Amino acid sequence: MVRLETVINSWKTVREDSAQAVEDFSAHELDYRPSPDQMTFGEIARHILEAGHILSGTLLDGVESMAVPRFREMREKYVAQLPRTEGAGALARELRSEIESRTAELSSKSSEFYAGEITRFDGQRVTRLEMLQFIKEHELTHRQQLFMYLRLKGIVPPTTRRRMAKAKT
């Protein structure tokens, strides 16, 4: 059985790593992309911020189905709640601030809330807890993109630095 606290703590760790990656990359341009058909580093980081806020917002608002034509319009409501993030420092701060406020809201919901089913945007029926796990996994995927960009610039990602520091002790 997956526990809410475990999912939330894991998501916070993933988000901290994403924010740290943005700070680590700050000496480089956020508009860096390894090839023309890729998102820029800054676009990926902003996508992490927006997608987490949008998807968790729909959960908190009790949206029963994300598989509706107006879902794209609903997204704009949530994006409008986020401040602009000019520069790496502002983006990293907002990534951290947003996860703290969202996880506090999510933690206040009951087990019955998380046991309830919703329809994901792909039409699949999932519990709200499963959807929260999906949100974290979505961010984890994009965090790995940030890490790849760090590596392309010769920067060691935060997870590897932590593992290397532990190995020295």
CATH number where 45 lies: 1.20.120.450
Q: Model pTM?
A: 0.93
pLDDT given at position 164: 87
Task: Return the bridge partners of 65, or none.
Answer: 119
DSSP H helix total and E strand total for the chain = 7, 2
pLDDT given at position 166: 87
Residue range(s) defining the domain that contains residue 126: 4-168
pLDDT given at position 9: 97
Which backbone phi and psi does 38 adopt, to 5 degrees?
-100, 155
Q: Under a CB-based contact definition with an 8 Å cutoff, are residues 142 and 14 in contact?
A: no
pLDDT given at position 1: 76
Q: Spell out, as residue ranges, where the chain has pLDDT lower than 50.
A: none
Q: Considering its fold, how many domains does the chain have in total?
A: 1
Instruction: Tell me, rounded to whole angstroms, the distance of Cα 152 from its chain centroid.
Output: 22
pLDDT given at position 125: 98
pLDDT given at position 28: 81
